[in-house]
């Protein structure tokens, strides 16, 4: 009952914030609202959650609406959830940065508030960030652009720490779905920067990374199969999308070349000794038969999914079926956890019977488990790659 009451209090807290100031909250949730400076924070007390103070639309960089951002959802903004009043928070409070999901194309920082409200009740300082995304609405942007925003937010943390009286010497970072993918890439890059070659600053060490159903192997036939089946997308369109996300043009192009570029942005490609401890929850709710069909191009011919194994250069034959959470295949969980264990990277992982990103709701004890794992690694951290 206590676990359920903590989550209920967190959800009530977010509802209370809406009721107290609906105009600002609606603006913050759906774009817009006044931008706050970290030097002039004015967190509001949330009475339904005794240990929660909330400050929204805080700037972590110059890209704002009217100054390079076409919409608030892709502006350099974050929401801050505090476990107490400024000046009364322990100087060594654990800090967690959340990156929202949305297929790298939609969503915003509000998606992380229920989780961060829950974590605030356990003493965490929580930050949920907006970042640049790739869509017709926001323009063409790649993984490198998104990771540059994550790096800018992390570089901003010492300034935030000074403002709230917390000594941020290390941080945990995580996210759901696409956000989990970006969190894994950012965390592992500190230990293995040559793979992506982005020269990220990593000004605050990542002590632990958390992934809730984040993609880990973008070039596997299982990932293509599960994604195309979920999104009802043709193979040609899928290749075009990941060509852009990997830093190329919106085109079908050469599949082998696309695989090489996309592999650089697959977290499993960055795993090596020295990567930070990883906590993850993944899900499986159904199976897809490889005898099923996919579209080669919009309105074009259909081919059996089993052909993807040859098309994508797999060294193994197609299985009869694959497991999936509805979007991300179970194979992505397996290859990540196997790679981490092989390299001796601490890994605590759960695979549950649930749909994509629904493990925390379906299996309530998984929340407490994840928070305790994250806190443990923050308390006994060593900088990644050192």
Which two tokens mark 282? Answer: 């993944």
Percent of the chain at pLDDT above 70? 89
- Four-point Cα dihedral 302, 304, 307, 311, nearest 10: 30
Helix axes 22-30, 2-20, angle to 10 degrees: 110
Which two tokens mark 106? Answer: 């939609």
Domain range enclosing 256: 219-264+286-324
Same domain, 125 and 33: yes
Give the range among 155-169, 244-258, 286-300, 337-351 with minimum mean pLDDT.
244-258
Q: What is the pLDDT of residues 349-385, one digit of tens each?
A: 999 999 999 999 999 999 999 999 999 999 986 444 4
Q: What is the pLDDT of residues 318-357, one digit of tens each?
A: 999 999 999 999 999 999 999 999 999 999 999 999 999 9
E strands along 197-346, which residues?
A: 206-212, 278-284, 286-289, 293-295, 302-304, 321-324
Note the pLDDT of residue 283.
98
Same domain, 272 and 296: no
Contact residues for 362 (Cβ-Cβ < 8 A; gap 6+): 283, 352, 353, 354, 355
Same domain, 250 and 110: no
Q: Among 48, 11, 56, which residue's Cα sits nearest to residue 32? A: 56
Q: Is residue 63 part of a domain?
A: yes
67 three-class SS: strand
Q: Is residue 211 part of a domain?
A: yes
Mean pLDDT for the chain overall: 91
Same domain, 177 and 257: no
- Rounded mean pLDDT of 204-217? 98
Q: What is the helix (H) or strand (E) element at residue 97, kind and residue range?
A: strand 95-99
Same domain, 102 and 6: yes
More confident residue, 8 or 170: 170
Residue corresponding to tokens 């790739």: 134
Q: Is residue 255 part of a domain?
A: yes
Same domain, 90 and 124: yes
- Rounded mean pLDDT of 70-76? 96
Q: Say if residue 49's pLDDT is above 60.
A: yes
Q: Is residue 385 part of a domain?
A: no
Number of domains in the chain: 2
Same domain, 334 and 259: no
Q: Say if residue 63's pLDDT is above 80.
A: yes
DSSP 375: H
Note the pLDDT of residue 358.
97
Which two tokens mark 53? Answer: 């103070």
- Residues, the chain, total? 386
Q: Which residues of 67-77 are buried (b: 16+ CB within 10 A; e: fewer)?
A: eebeebbbbbb
Q: Which residues sit opposite 45 in a β-bridge?
A: 53
Q: Among 138, 127, 155, which residue's Cα sits nearest to residue 65? A: 138
Task: Report the phi/psi class of residue 294: left, alpha or beta, with left for phi > 0 and alpha for psi in -120 to 50.
Answer: beta
Q: Is residue 23 part of a domain?
A: yes
111 three-class SS: helix
Binning pLDDT at 50, 70 and 90, where does residue 35 land? Answer: confident
Q: Is residue 386 part of a domain?
A: no
Q: Is residue 336 part of a domain?
A: yes
By CB atoms closer than 10 A (0-12, 13-18, 19+), residue 14 is buried
Q: What is the pLDDT of residues 108-124, one digit of tens each?
A: 999 999 999 999 999 99
Binning pLDDT at 50, 70 and 90, where does residue 253 land? Answer: low
Same domain, 39 and 134: yes
CATH number for the domain harbouring residue 35: 3.40.50.1820
Note the pLDDT of residue 384.
47
Give the range among 50-59, 88-97, 174-183, 247-256 with minimum mean pLDDT.
247-256
Residue corresponding to tokens 């997308």: 233
Same domain, 271 and 320: no
Q: What is the pLDDT of residues 261-278, one digit of tens each?
A: 999 999 999 999 999 999
Whole-number Å distance between alpha carbons of 222 and 226: 6
Same domain, 141 and 195: yes
Whether residue 193 contacts residue 114, with contact meaning beta carbons closer than 8 Å, is answered with no
Note the pLDDT of residue 252.
67
Q: Is residue 384 part of a domain?
A: no
Same domain, 150 and 244: no
Same domain, 148 and 297: no
């Amino acid at each position: 009952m206590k676990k359920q009451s903590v989550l209920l209090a967190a959800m009530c807290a977010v509802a209370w914030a809406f009721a107290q100031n609906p105009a600002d909250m609606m603006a913050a949730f759906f774009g817009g609202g006044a931008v706050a400076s970290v030097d002039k924070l004015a967190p509001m007390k949330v009475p339904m959650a005794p240990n929660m103070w909330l400050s929204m639309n805080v700037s972590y960089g110059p890209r704002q609406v009217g100054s390079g951002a076409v919409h608030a959802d892709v502006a350099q903004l974050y929401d801050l959830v505090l476990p107490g009043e400024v000046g009364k928070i322990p100087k060594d409070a654990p800090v967690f940065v959340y990156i929202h999901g949305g297929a790298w194309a939609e969503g915003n920082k509000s998606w992380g508030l229920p989780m961060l409200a829950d974590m605030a009740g356990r003493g965490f300082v929580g930050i949920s960030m907006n970042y640049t995304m790739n869509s017709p609405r926001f323009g063409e942007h790649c993984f490198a652009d998104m990771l540059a925003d994550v790096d800018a937010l992390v570089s901003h943390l010492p300034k935030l720490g000074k403002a709230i009286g917390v000594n941020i010497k290390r941080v945990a970072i995580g996210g759901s779905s696409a956000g989990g993918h970006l969190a894994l890439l950012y965390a592992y890059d500190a230990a293995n920067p040559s793979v992506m070659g982005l020269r990220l600053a990593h000004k605050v060490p990542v002590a632990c990374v958390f992934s809730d159903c984040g993609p880990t192997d973008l070039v596997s036939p299982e990932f293509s199969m599960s994604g195309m089946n979920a999104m009802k997308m043709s193979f040609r369109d899928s290749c075009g999308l990941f060509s852009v996300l990997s830093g190329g043009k919106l085109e079908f192009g050469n599949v082998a070349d696309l695989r090489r570029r996309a592999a650089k942005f697959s977290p499993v490609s960055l795993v090596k000794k020295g990567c930070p401890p990883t906590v993850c929850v993944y899900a499986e709710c159904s199976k897809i038969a490889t005898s099923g069909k996919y579209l080669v191009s919009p309105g074009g011919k259909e081919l059996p999914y089993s052909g993807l194994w040859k098309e994508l250069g797999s060294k193994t034959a197609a299985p009869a079926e694959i497991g999936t959470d509805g979007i991300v295949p179970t194979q992505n969980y397996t290859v990540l956890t196997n790679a981490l264990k092989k390299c001796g990277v601490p890994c605590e992982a759960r695979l549950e019977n649930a749909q994509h990103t629904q493990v925390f709701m379906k299996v309530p004890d998984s929340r407490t488990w994840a928070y305790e794992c994250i806190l443990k690694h923050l308390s006994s951290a060593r900088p990644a790659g050192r």
